[in-house]
Structure 1
């Protein structure tokens, strides 16, 4: 029975260790690849449902070997790191997640290739009887060739439409991510790496591309801080579009015998589809021009002169594209006759004659009225008349004053010599 009791004791111990170990778990990738000269972040998280640590922020990293516990990182005892390949090159990498045990190695050298490491959380309080941390390890692989970026294009690939371009790169150094670039105009680069479930990080550059040609090349390039470069390209074979033909004129009605401009416009997205435009009235002068804005346009301008037989007929524009596609569009002619020139001239002439007659009549009436008013005025008073003698020149000194005046007595004349004589007027005088 002693042997049986010993077997029972071993079984109980193994069960205890299994229960304690299942109370803890450490999550990190078993294999991780890094670029030589760059940095390497080993993402690590832990969780538990029993035996919580007293110092969850206390994390120590060891090298996995057959015997002993060679120290890789210990912020309490950094001098205890014996191997030169890790001394001064390791540090804890903290993220937003609380229960983290990540390790950063910088710079990554060839000496780190195929090294096997594992973390230990709160080693002063969590012993190997609680959890065997060395059961969860990660193998480091060092490479000297960078991975090319990943290029993805989303949206309808049609000329004249826009598509979304995503240029992404996977790496293991979030503190110094590689730089992405595109051969097209783009917005701000998203430099915040996203941690993936496999332990790597992803940096993405996003842009919007307007497809202008039926064949367009997009190139995504990546440059690492170590100087390594890679690129990925993609050819966009876009679908060309041809829009319906349109026709327009300067007026809805045409004046018989007078020229008017009519335009026919063909709109298309690829220059190789440039059309030939013709009209149903081919004997009239035309001009054609091709322009490029957001889309290609070929415009034919017809100088159309309508006749008396055109009302109700159709004016048609025909387009034959280089790919063989044909289109046509038309308008119904509405023609009106021009006004006769006689009424056009007669009306203003009559108005002008009436105006002239009114002016002449007004002048005649004004002059007649002024003549009537002048004849009804009384003659001027004698003293207001200018005497002939007053106009003669006078000598100073012995000159005789011959001025004549009137007194209040009508029979008396007053002269300039200061004498007065009665004036006897009789019918005989």
Structure 2
């Protein structure tokens, strides 16, 4: 068999190999990092048309460690597809369809001593069709997973109410046992999607995307991305990275505090402090105002003055930065003398109302007493009148029948009239003497009583 010189062409990340008189190549990443205790998947593809796989009844794949030269005694066939034999590994599985040039393979339970170069070899049942590809893949086994990639790493220019996108990705050397990604301290409004992605060299990574709308409450928030790798060991392996969120926003929660208090006496030094949250805050502008006054009182974070009688009233401040402005709620400053005057007025009015109420009550009681006395007098006079009516005096005026009406009750008291016989009478009825007419009255009691007598 004639020997032809071979030529190697570098085509990153693959190598092109000229074996015999045909140009054949295997598509392999030049390097892959595996995690000890886990598995590693090697993407692999070869040009099947160049070795006439269509006419082959069977195709077998091999993996050789250390060297591609078959005569080298140091070589080790770790996987023999023709006999399904695995050496040095717990298990090796070719996932691809070799008849279609697919040779992707999974090495399970890799350990540190598995770090080395590995070559792929394909054989068919047809004579002369045995090819070992000279572009190996280097498997590097590590006890620690590869670092995460969190983008963007600098969020200082995020403005409030703008949409923020964070991407966290990590190597997935074993898609059969993919790592999991989790986020911590993320905003409640965040929307997260996670998936496996294929990279240009056919290896895979786990990719998580977070999106949310920035709020001033997210300023200086530490958002962490954590990746956990399942391993055939006592503990899973995790790796984490954190980014601090920087949000630019206008003044928020602007308010005023008064030192020493909101109620002070005349002559006291008082300080009003305007507080506000903002980013940036190093160039904040503060303006002071008082209700009822058009002009500003002062500028600056603090307003200090000596209290006088005119200092009382409602104060407010405004805070401003390059992103906006906000006005605080008004706060009242009470001067103690004014407070005493108000309290004195309230007490005076209350005392006046109390005195008025007492006088009104006294007068009402007096009216009630007077009415009671009057009714008593009227009652007494009525009784006296009844007595006068029931008594008939001599030489009195004529009394009508109604006034002499006797009580209807037989038990009522019977009043007898008094007749004066001091003057001798000659007639039994009426005697006229000296022009004076004397009337004699006859008093009778009830018939029942008279009958009893």
Equivalent residues in 2 for 1:148-187 (5 A)? 148-153=147-152, 156-183=157-184, 184-185=186-187, 186-187=190-191
| Aligned residue number for residue 225 of structure 1 | 230
Confirm or deny that 1:208 pairs with 2:202: no
Residues 39 and 107 in structure 2, CA contact (< 8 A), matched pair in contact too: yes
Equivalent residues in 2 for 1:15-414 (5 A)? 18=18, 20=20, 22-48=22-48, 50-53=50-53, 54=56, 58-65=60-67, 66-67=72-73, 70-78=76-84, 80-81=85-86, 83=87, 85-86=88-89, 88-94=90-96, 99-114=101-116, 116-125=117-126, 127=128, 132-153=131-152, 156-183=157-184, 184-185=186-187, 186-191=190-195, 193-209=196-212, 210-212=214-216, 213-226=218-231, 227-241=236-250, 270=279, 278=289, 281-282=292-293, 286=314, 298-300=327-329
TM-score by length of 1: 0.50
Q: Which moved more, 1:34-43 or 1:193-202?
A: 193-202
Cα–Cα, structure 1 residues 58 and 296, in superposed 2: closer, same or farther, change >3 Å?
A: farther
Whole-angstrom distance in 2 between the partners of 1:39 and 1:15: 35
Whole-angstrom distance in 2 between the partners of 1:55 and 1:298: 84
Whole-angstrom distance in 2 between the partners of 1:236 and 1:200: 31
Deviation at 1:69, TM superposition (A): 6.5
Whole-angstrom distance in 1 between the partners of 2:325 and 2:183: 26
More strand per residue: 2
Whole-angstrom distance in 2 between the partners of 1:55 and 1:152: 50
Q: What's the Cα RMSD here?
A: 4.2
Deviation at 1:285, TM superposition (A): 5.8
Residues 23 and 51 in structure 1, CA contact (< 8 A), matched pair in contact too: no
Whole-angstrom distance in 2 between the partners of 1:40 and 1:15: 31
TM-score by length of 2: 0.48
Cα–Cα, structure 1 residues 21 and 179, in superposed 2: closer, same or farther, change >3 Å?
A: farther
Deviation at 1:49, TM superposition (A): 5.0
Cα–Cα, structure 1 residues 31 and 21, in superposed 2: closer, same or farther, change >3 Å?
A: farther
Residues 160 and 269 in structure 1, CA contact (< 8 A), matched pair in contact too: no
Deviation at 1:206, TM superposition (A): 0.8
Cα–Cα, structure 1 residues 188 and 207, in superposed 2: closer, same or farther, change >3 Å?
A: closer
Which structure 1 segments of 5+ residues have no match? 1-8, 244-266, 304-429
The DSSP-based 3-state class of the residue aligned with 1:111 is helix
The DSSP-based 3-state class of the residue aligned with 2:113 is helix
Cα–Cα, structure 1 residues 105 and 216, in superposed 2: closer, same or farther, change >3 Å?
A: same
Whole-angstrom distance in 1 between the partners of 2:291 and 2:127: 95
Superposed CA offset, 1:4-57 (max 9, x none): xxxxx957x558995755432111023322110111111111125533213686
The DSSP-based 3-state class of the residue aligned with 2:191 is coil
| Aligned residue number for residue 377 of structure 2 | none
Whole-angstrom distance in 2 between the partners of 1:239 and 1:56: 66
Aligned residues: 260
Residues 55 and 122 in structure 1, CA contact (< 8 A), matched pair in contact too: no
Task: Specify the structure having the higher radius of gyration (Cα).
Answer: 2
Cα–Cα, structure 1 residues 302 and 135, in superposed 2: closer, same or farther, change >3 Å?
A: closer
The DSSP-based 3-state class of the residue aligned with 1:180 is strand
Deviation at 1:296, TM superposition (A): 9.4
Which structure 2 segments of 5+ residues have no match? 8-16, 253-275, 294-309, 319-323, 333-453
Deviation at 1:107, TM superposition (A): 0.8
Residues 166 and 210 in structure 2, CA contact (< 8 A), matched pair in contact too: yes
The DSSP-based 3-state class of the residue aligned with 1:135 is coil
